[in-house]
Amino acid sequence: MTTYWPLLGVAVVIAGFALKRNPMLVVVTAGLVSGIAAGKSPAELLELLGSEFVKNRTLLLYTLTLPVIGVLERAGLRERARAWILGFARLTLARLLIAYLALRQLLSMLGLINVAGHPQTVRPLLAPMCEATATRTFGGLDDEARERVRALAAATDNVGVFFGEDVFLAFGAVLLIQTFYDGQGIHLEPTSIALWALPTAIAAFAIHAVRIVVFQLRLERRLARAQVVAPRPPPPAPPAPGTEG
Amino acid sequence: MLTITHIFYLIGALLVGTAVLDARDRRWSVAGFWAILAVPFLVGDQIRDAAKAGTRWPAQAMGLGVLALALLASLHRGRPVDDGDPVAREASAARLGNRLFVPALMIPALTGALVLDAKYVHSIATRWIDPGSNTLIALGLASVVALVAALWTTRARPIHGLTEGRRLIDTMGWPLVLPMMLATLGGVFAATHVGDAIAKLVAMVISTDSRLACLLAYGLGMVVFTTIMGNAFAAFPVMTAGIGLPLLVKGHGADPAALGALGMLTGYCGTLLTPMAANFNIVPAILLELRDEYGVIRAQWPTAVILMSVNLVLMDLLVFR
């Protein structure tokens, strides 16, 4: 006879995350609710929490990589990554974004997940470079186009890091999968899990790269049409700036 | 013989060092957090041995520690710690160039080399490594070697290994521990048979004889749960305990490694779709001063939806070999 009361724990997880409570607090509360609903005594429940926590400690293994990354950052690792990205400045918009996507995926696969990111590279580097490149190529962006170029830069960073980091075998997701199965009596090597993330990583690169190219083509067409349709100043007038607002 | 316990001691030492540095800065609750977290790494084996021998109190005390971690985490956020002189970093980056990437590259490269050696060559380098968990030990060793290489390349003093490690640990804060906490929840769910209950409920809705139906329930379930919670890590233990393990691995002979990896990545597609994952989807819209709060999600949802479909096909192809 299956009892459904422990499912209350799942409800706590969903509600807690949806209401943006502190995730650590939500997770522990969910465990307690589930345990109480399953009829466990407080002593049993504490023991279960404690022994499960110890069992899953391999998940913190990647903290050992942090001193390495920290020392390298102190010596300019992030600045060096920025210099690489600045080297993309002469590319077209589509090539710039695709080069960034590839770089972001490769760095994440090697465990360099935080050398780039929205505050680190997208706002100070990638977004302005994209705007500059697009302005150079298309001769001026309207507000709508500028907004969409920036948003695509941020989206490209997300896709790059999400579908790169899982190939790094010390990454939390890989170790979470490994320890989860371990607790259920299935023993796996982290390498075998990380390997299965490769096909998706390649697919993500291909799909997003095609979308970037399509984006550039559409932008080109829309701006060309806007230039034809938009009332231009009479020819003899001095050259007006191409942007409006 | 070198076992995973030795690697755990290293993590414990790093966490204790972080706690001591935070205590020196009078950041007591943060110091307390890292000190409690060091416990399973320093005396975890003793806790497990005691529980096996019937002595319950050490595990119960650890359980209280877990509650304390959750409370301390709710009090505190990660805080950026001073990361030095930007001008000096710029100069150092120009001087060292791409050599900066070498120590970082050594972590995956050495780990891979040691794992392959232990599996196929059995050279002197790996003969003294516990074969039970050689990948994890290899990763620990590679991190240590890479740290030495990083210190040598950058001419930093050894103490910087600790101070810089502490800087990153403190910057990340409690989210560093969230995966471990979620795995713990997965264990609690297993012990309270939550997975069985979900499996029963799912079996009322879909035909569990159909491989495809189970696969779709798992993959789409990961996406929906991730979208609601904003976190694929949180969805993983629930969905895998409820559908992945009982219906796909045990019911249809799915390969657990491929199913886990592809299931998690399908969940990531959900992360791209949801404003709940604020760090990735809402914060950048603010950083880039977009008028549309959902602009980033609008830019990435087609990638997410196409990739999700590709992933479901990949699952069907790769999981049942």
pLDDT in tens, B64-116: 999 999 999 988 765 666 777 888 888 888 899 889 889 888 888 888 888 88
| A72 and A13 in a common domain | no
Checking if the pLDDT of A169 tops 70, the result is: no
What average pLDDT score do residues A21-32 get? 92
| A90 and A25 in a common domain | no
Residue A240 lies in a domain: no
Question: Which residue reads 């291909």 in tokens?
Answer: A206
In this prediction, the residues of chain B whose per-residue pLDDT falls under 70 are: 77-81
> Which residues in chain A have their CB less than 8 angstroms from residue B93's CB?
75-77, 79-80, 83
Query: In chain B, which among 177-236 make CB contacts under 8 A with chain A?
Result: 177-194, 196-198, 200-201, 225, 228-234, 236
% of chain A with per-residue pLDDT over 90: 41
Query: In chain A, which among 165-194 make CB contacts under 8 A with chain B?
Result: 166, 168-170, 172-177, 179-181, 183-184, 186, 188-194
Give me the number of domains chain A comprises.
2
| A19 and A85 in a common domain | no
Q: Which domain covers residue A218, as residue numbers? A: 63-229
> Which residues in chain B have their CB less than 8 angstroms from residue A155's CB?
272, 296, 299-300, 303
Q: Distance (Å, rounded) from C-alpha B197 to C-alpha A127?
A: 47
What pLDDT, on a 0 to 100 scale, did the predictor assign at position B305? 97
Q: Is A237 on the interface with B (CB under 8 A)?
A: no
What pLDDT, on a 0 to 100 scale, did the predictor assign at position A244? 35
Of residues A13 and A148, the one with the higher pLDDT is: A148
Per-residue pLDDT tens digits for B36-51: 999 999 999 999 999 9
| A74 and A34 in a common domain | no
State how far Cα A128 lies from the chain centre: 19
| A144 and A71 in a common domain | yes
| A85 and A27 in a common domain | no
> Which residues in chain A have their CB less than 8 angstroms from residue B256's CB?
181, 186, 188
Residue A74 lies in a domain: yes
Residue A128 lies in a domain: yes
| A202 and A137 in a common domain | yes
| A26 and A93 in a common domain | no
- Asked if this assembly's ipTM is beyond 0.90, the reply is no
Query: In chain B, which among 78-97 make CB contacts under 8 A with chain A?
Result: 83-84, 89-94, 96-97
Residue A234 lies in a domain: no
Site from A65, A78, A130, A189 to mutate, B interface, most B CB atoms within 10 angstroms: A65
What average pLDDT score do residues A101-113 get? 89
C-beta atoms of B285 and A64 within 8 A: no
Q: How far is CA B203 from CA B67, B199, B212, B251, in A?
A: 35, 6, 13, 12
What is the four-CA torsion angle of B250, B256, B259, B264, rounded to 10 degrees? 120
Q: Distance (Å, rounded) from C-alpha A217 to C-alpha A227?
A: 15
Checking if the pLDDT of A160 tops 90, the result is: yes
C-beta atoms of A75 and B92 within 8 A: yes
H helices present in B28-100, as ranges? 28-52, 57-75, 86-96
What pLDDT, on a 0 to 100 scale, did the predictor assign at position A245? 36
H helices present in chain B, as ranges? 4-24, 28-52, 57-75, 86-96, 101-116, 134-154, 159-172, 178-191, 194-205, 211-229, 232-239, 251-252, 256-273, 278-281, 283-287, 295-318
Residue A236 lies in a domain: no
| A182 and A75 in a common domain | yes
Residue A88 lies in a domain: yes
| A116 and A193 in a common domain | yes
What average pLDDT score do residues A120-126 get? 86
Residue A237 lies in a domain: no
| A47 and A133 in a common domain | no
Which of A7-21, A35-49, B253-267, B306-320 is the least confident region?
Answer: A7-21
What pLDDT, on a 0 to 100 scale, did the predictor assign at position B109? 85
DSSP label at residue B89: H
| A96 and A19 in a common domain | no
Residue A238 lies in a domain: no
Per-residue pLDDT tens digits for B142-163: 999 999 999 999 999 999 999 9
